[in-house]
Structure 1
Amino acid sequence: MGVWEAFLNWLRSLFFKQEMELSLIGLQNAGKTSLVNVVATGGYSEDMIPTVGFNMRKVTKGNVTIKLWDLGGQPRFRSMWERYCRGVSAIVFVVDAADHDNLPISKSELHDVLSKPSLNGIPLLVLGNKIDKPEALTKQVLTDRMGLKSITDREVCCFMISCKNSTNIDCVIDWLLASTVAHHSHADSCATASVYSFQAFFMSNYLYEWCKFWPCSDRSGLDVHLVV
């Protein structure tokens, strides 16, 4: 590999480096912190301490770095959900699928945060957790009771998972990575144009400096066509 090719590869890596930022929201005890731990380490613990405020963790999957914002689900923390969901790659709403009594509150909180203008169009991933419990709802019932079909201003996806048994966690990660690729596809096209524009600028200036030292009698018929 030549020096110029190596330089271009390095330059492209600056543009094409893929990162995503996720905000995990949902009521307390839904399993948000457990999900972060399972995604990051594959480990699960029954003795989780409720999140106070928020926690942030970075996880690398392949060539994608995922920044996870784990937001507290107690009533006093829900007002800050909107602030930490602004500009993220996706909003992940975790629901305890076995907690039937709190499902109306989950629905209300979800639709309330999605109504904020600052969050328009951000993809939504709803995760029905704790399907290892016999009283857990099915995906169809959860979809209906959470009113997910009424959300039409963004991409919406729903998975039923168990952090305890790692059920469908791989599917969640695959969806997130695929969503990141789609999210970055337009940006990558713009970045490619930027790289080649820089290449054209660099080469034209290089040729200009080189031609300054070329004897005038030898470059009277010089015709340079730069193709990028």
Structure 2
Amino acid sequence: MGKVLSKIFGNKEMRILMLGLDAAGKTTILYKLKLGQSVTTIPTVGFNVETVTYKNVKFNVWDVGGQDKIRPLWRHYYTGTQGLIFVVDCADRDRIDEARQELHRIINDREMRDAIILIFANKQDLPDAMKPHEIQEKLGRGCPGRVPAGNSLEGQPEAGVGHRDGRRG
């Protein structure tokens, strides 16, 4: 059946950009999606890119390092991006304002105006982690996107509290 659908509708490809502050869990999420298991990672200097296929869609996922010295380079990855996964470390309360500033800088760039946005509330398993509704609040009113809760080490995210379809209005 899948082969028939692929012949009728063709295979789609989507360019997905995964961004967030350093140590948010971007690389762990990428390889959990790709391999279906957790792997040991080191801080990303530069980027990782992997293709993840789901049904008849190929997602080319670009995981770009989040250290403050690398962030000015993020804009060079925006062109052609169809989806943004912005990963937030829910246990890092000290840097949630910094995450908000970076997210708003990204979504206000004209190259990203049509990108579908997902905010991944990561590390929900840690003590005192902010809940998805708190993350959504702290990222600012009018912040587009769904906010699923998750733990990149455990697997699938839980349903979030996002209220929009992920597209910017």
Q: Is 2:88 the counterpart of 1:95?
A: yes
Instruction: Mark the structure with the bigger radius of gyration.
Output: 1
Aligned to 2:107: 114
Unmatched 5+ residue regions in structure 1?
1-8, 173-177, 180-228
RMSD of Structure 2 on Structure 1 (CA): 2.3
CA distance in 2, matches of 1:142, 1:35: 18
3-state SS of paired residue (2:94)? coil
State TM-score, norm by structure 2: 0.85
Equivalent position of 2:149 in the other structure: 160
SS at match of 2:93: coil
Equivalent of 2:25, from 31, 37, 42? 31
More helix by share: 1
Partner of 1:129: 122
Please tell me the residue identity of whatever aligns with 1:168.
P
> Who is 2:47 aligned against?
54
Q: Please tell me the residue identity of whatever aligns with 1:17.
A: N
Cα drift, residue 15 of structure 1: 6.9
Q: Which amino acid aligns with 2:145?
A: V
Gaps of 5+ in 2: none
* DSSP 3-state at the match of 2:60: strand
Residue 13 of structure 1: how far off its partner (Å): 3.9
> Can you list the C-alpha shifts for 1:101-159, whole angstroms capped at 9, x where unaligned?
01110001110121111211211100010001121111111100011x323xxx52111
Q: Which TM-score applies when normalising by structure 1?
A: 0.64
**Partner residue in 2 for 1:209:** none
Q: Deviations over 1:65-122 (max 9, x none)?
A: 1101010000111112122122222111000001100111000111012111121121
- Which consecutive aligned stretches of 4+ in structure 1 deviate over 3 angstroms post-superposition? 12-15
Greater percentage in strand? 2
Q: How many residues align?
A: 158
AA partner of residue 32 (structure 2): V
Identity of aligned residues (%): 30
Q: Look up the match of 1:140.
A: 133
Asked if structure 1 preserves the Cα contact closer than 8 Å seen for 2:82 and 2:114, the reply is: no
